[in-house]
Amino acid sequence: MGRSDSLIFGCGPMGQEVAEQLIGRKLPVYMYSSDLDRVAEVLAKGFDAAVLDYTDDDKLRQVGIGEWVKVIFCLFPEEAKNVFLTLSARALDPDLKIICVSESSQSGQKLFAAGASKVIDPYEISGRKVHELITRPMIVDMLEHTVFGKHLDIAEIEIPLDSCLSGNPLSILDLGGRYNVVLMGVVDVEMSDRLIFSTSGVDHKLDAGDMLVVIGPAVEITRLKGDLEEDRTDQLLGG
């Protein structure tokens, strides 16, 4: 059995969807389920999968939880299974990223209480999307084709040590003018995970380790990354 940073528990349609997306981004992934038939089904589709009794902590340790695994996805259709798995995994590794799906807002709270790092509510998101489709179809179309389609990427770029950007306030950056990208905001990783939108009033001073979140075509993002790494002040700040 090979080593993989990310594990998916649950081989249902949701698990397959997530696996497909991850593999599409060149991120190796393993799928586990306690259901033999499901495992056979995803194996036939070409995923790496195995049967695993998730209730046994030793088995979980064997597949790498608490050791090399960084992210697990709890995608069982049954809420109780997800809660149980989240609890077990959290006990094994306090730093593990655990992503769960929830069926309702109440179960979302339970999963958070069990130690999930992120709870995704597919129905909530879908409902909101339908609502957006009704109220402003043009924007949905645009996002669908650009950001979530093939044209534009969302990328996070770390500001390297001793970068010329350090110490500059967020508001003076004019990335949109110098590169064909839109700067959405910045995350001060040391402070919190919250995204500081570049529009919000707080004038954040950039420093090394901050993550810039930008949207743009892949080429431009690569150019920006390159310039940041080489710390080309003339390009980044314009003289």
Partner 1 sequence: MDNTHRLIQTSYKLKDSVRYRRAKKFFYDLLENPKARVRPYFDVFMILLVVTSVWVLIYDVRHDMGLFDDLFEWVAVTIFIIEYLLRFWIYNDSHKVILSHYERAEFINQPFRAWPALREVVAKKWEYMTQPLAIIDLLAIIPTYRPLRFLRIFLLFRLFKLFRYTRSISEFVKVLNEKRIELFTLFIFMAFITFTAATALFFFETDVVDGKGVGSFFESIYWALVTMSTVGYGDITPHTTEGRVVTIILIIAGLGVISFFTSIIVSAFGEKMHEIRAQRVFSEVERKHIDLIICGYGRVGQVVADQLAADQRQFVLVDPQESNVRLAKQKGYLAALGDAADSALLESLGIATQAKRLLCLTGDDVANVYITLSARQMNTEIEIISRANHRENVTKLRLAGADHTVAPYEIVGLIAAEYVGQPVAFEAIYGMLTGQNDVGIEAVRVRSGSVLDGRCMADIGFRQRKLIPFGVVREGGCPIDASSGAYEIEGRCFHFNPTPDFELQAGDLVVMFGHEYSVVHFRDCLERGTL
In the window 178-217, what residues touch partner 1 (CB under 8 A)? 180-185, 187, 189, 193-195, 197-201, 211, 213, 215-217
Among 11, 42, 69, 99, binds partner 1 (CB under 8 A): 99
In the complex with partner 1, the residue whose CB is nearer, 54 or 216, is: 216
Are 98 and 115 spatial neighbours (Cβ–Cβ below 8 Å)? yes
Q: What φ, ψ does residue 172 adopt, rounded to 5°?
A: -85, -15
Q: Binding string to partner 1 for residues 113 to 152, with x set by CB under 8 A, is what?
A: -----x-x-xxxxxxxxxxxxxxxxxxxxxx-xxxx--xx
CB of 108 to partner 1, least distance (A): 12
How far apart, in Å, are the Cα atoms of 184 and each of 159, 207, 212? 15, 17, 8
How far apart, in Å, are the Cα atoms of 103 and each of 71, 145, 146? 21, 28, 29
CB of 114 to partner 1, least distance (A): 18
Are 113 and 90 spatial neighbours (Cβ–Cβ below 8 Å)? no
Q: Binding string to partner 1 for residues 33 to 72, with x set by CB under 8 A, is what?
A: --------------------------------------x-
| SS3 at position 36 | helix
